[in-house]
Amino acid sequence: MKTLARLACTATIMLACATTAQAQTTAAQMTGGWTLLSLDTETAEGPIQPFGPTPLGFIDFSGNGRFMMQFMRPDLPKIAANNRLKATPEESIAIGQGVVAFFGEWQLQDASTGEVSLRIVGSSFANWNGTAQKRFVQVSGDRMTLINPASPSAGRSTLKLERVK
pLDDT values of the chain reduced to their tens digit, one per residue, 165 residues: 444 334 333 333 333 333 334 569 999 999 999 999 999 999 999 999 999 999 999 999 999 999 999 999 999 999 999 999 999 999 999 999 999 999 999 999 999 999 999 999 999 999 999 999 999 999 999 999 999 998 877 899 999 999 999
Please tell me the predicted confidence (pLDDT) of residue 133.
97
Number of Cβ within a 10 Å radius of residue 53: 10
Cα torsion 66, 106, 24, 114: sign = negative
Please tell me the predicted confidence (pLDDT) of residue 154.
81
Cα torsion 18, 21, 27, 30: sign = negative
User: Residue 80: inside a domain, yes or no?
Assistant: yes
Please tell me the predicted confidence (pLDDT) of residue 12.
37
State how many domains the chain has. 1
What amino acid is encoded at 98 in this protein? G
Please tell me the predicted confidence (pLDDT) of residue 14.
37
User: Residue 7: inside a domain, yes or no?
Assistant: no
Structural domain boundaries, residue 51: 23-163
The Cα–Cα gap between 23 and 113 comes to 8
Contact 100, 71 (CB under 8 A): yes
User: Residue 143: inside a domain, yes or no?
Assistant: yes
pTM of structure: 0.83
The Cα–Cα gap between 119 and 72 comes to 21
User: What CATH number should be reported for the domain holding residue 94?
Assistant: 2.40.128.280
Find, among 110, 38, 109, the residue nearest to 119 by Cα: 109
Contact 163, 142 (CB under 8 A): yes
User: Residue 17: inside a domain, yes or no?
Assistant: no
